[in-house]
Amino acid sequence: MLDLNDVAVFVQVVRSGSFAETARRLGIPPNTLSRRVQQLEARLGTRLLQRSTRKLSLTNAGQDFYDRCAGAVETLSDAGQALMSGNEVPSGLVRVAAPAEFFDFFPMECLADFLAAHPLVRVDFVLSDARADLIADRIDVAIRGGVLEDSGFFALQVLDAGLDGLVASPAYLAARGAPATLEDLADHDCLFFAHPSGRAPWRLSGLDGADVDVQVAGRFSANTAQALHKAALAGLGIALLPSTITRRALSTGMLVPVLPQFHRKGHGVHLVYPSRRHVPSAVAAFIELVADKLSELEDLPITVPCTPA
């Protein structure tokens, strides 16, 4: 019979990404945890984890075993946690992965108020436009826009997907004219997510709901939607951008719609974290803060990959 304590240790090691981090969280020596996992592997007759000096990785058998038992371990943990959580005070470290420009639009004052309200909580931001590995980088919650990978993590949508639309500045259209059809985009400078070919595929939907593919080109490309937004404002071309970014500029006339009968379904903004169960109270409090504040913003210049739908 399997020792359920060994199974629980294995699940914790996978979530933490290392024996050292698990040992810190559980207050158990790393060599003890390693021995427990080895005992589990011996009992199962297969290797679950590949160990290296840099990081741990799951074997195929380990991934399958984790997928099968992680939920059960969480359920057992929740049963005990429910009895103890009534008086739990948020405390400890919350590691957050967010776009590099996150604090350009998220008020630092909100974070200051959060820390003042929870004096036992520490927050560590990993700001980068590259997507963090939640397990390897020990991330508690990631703030992500664009298409979500099928990672098995839980995702809470905090900003409605809306629609992506074509926009340009009045100055650009005055100089180059407005395209009357999608085919006319071939004669325009388009602003798109960087592509090795120097061109980009856009898949758009018309009023009839049918998808239309069009190849566009231009002299400016970038790897964030915010950069493309600024380029459109500067009159460098026509961009396909989420409505969450362009809403304010469209309302003030700094940008105008182009071919408004065409659009692309957006992907919204999500808070992504390893599991919806057994979320530490500090992480849960932080998630509540960000969900509330992001939903209040008029527009959200967040990094969103401009990939075709």
Helix/strand/coil (H/E/C) assignment for every residue in the chain: CCCHHHHHHHHHHHHHCCHHHHHHHHCCCHHHHHHHHHHHHHHHCCCCEEECCCCEEECHHHHHHHHHHHHHHHHHHHHHHHHHHHHCCCCEEEEEEECCCHHHHCCHHHHHHHHHHCCCEEEEEEECCCCCCCCCCCCCEEEEECCCCCCCCEEEEEECCCEEEEEECHHHHHHHCCCCCHHHHHHCCEEEECCCCCEEEEEEECCCCCEEEEEEECCEEECCHHHHHHHHHCCCCEEEEEHHHHHHHHHHCCCEECCCCCEEECCCEEEEECCCCCCCHHHHHHHHHHHHHHHHCCCCCCCCCCCCC
- pLDDT-derived band at 249 (thresholds 50, 70, 90) equals very high
Ramachandran class of 99: left when φ > 0, alpha when ψ lies in -120 to 50, beta otherwise: beta
Torsion over CA: 103, 109, 111, 112 (sign): positive
Q: How far apart are CA 258 and CA 177, in angstroms?
A: 11
- Between the alpha carbon of residue 232 and those of residues 189, 195, 224, the distances in Å are 10, 18, 13
Contact 177, 185 (CB under 8 A): no
- pLDDT-derived band at 95 (thresholds 50, 70, 90) equals very high
The whole model's pTM is what? 0.54
Burial class (CB in 10 A: 0-12, 13-18, 19+), 207: exposed
Domains of the chain, earliest start first: 4-86 (1.10.10.10), 88-161+268-296 (3.40.190.10), 163-265 (3.40.190.290)
Give the model's pLDDT for residue 57.
86
* Lowest-confidence segment of 63-67, 75-79, 94-98 by average pLDDT: 75-79
Is 12 a residue whose pLDDT tops 70? yes
Q: What does DSSP say about strands 264-265 and 163-168: parallel, antiparallel, or unpaired?
A: antiparallel
State the Cα torsion 279-285-286-290 to the nearest 10°.
120
Q: Could you report the per-residue pLDDT of 255-286, keeping only the tens digit for each?
A: 999 999 999 876 667 888 887 666 888 999 99
Contact 183, 263 (CB under 8 A): no
The percentage of residues in the chain with a pLDDT greater than 70, rounded to a whole number, is: 86
* Lowest-confidence segment of 22-31, 254-263, 298-307 by average pLDDT: 298-307
- pLDDT-derived band at 30 (thresholds 50, 70, 90) equals confident
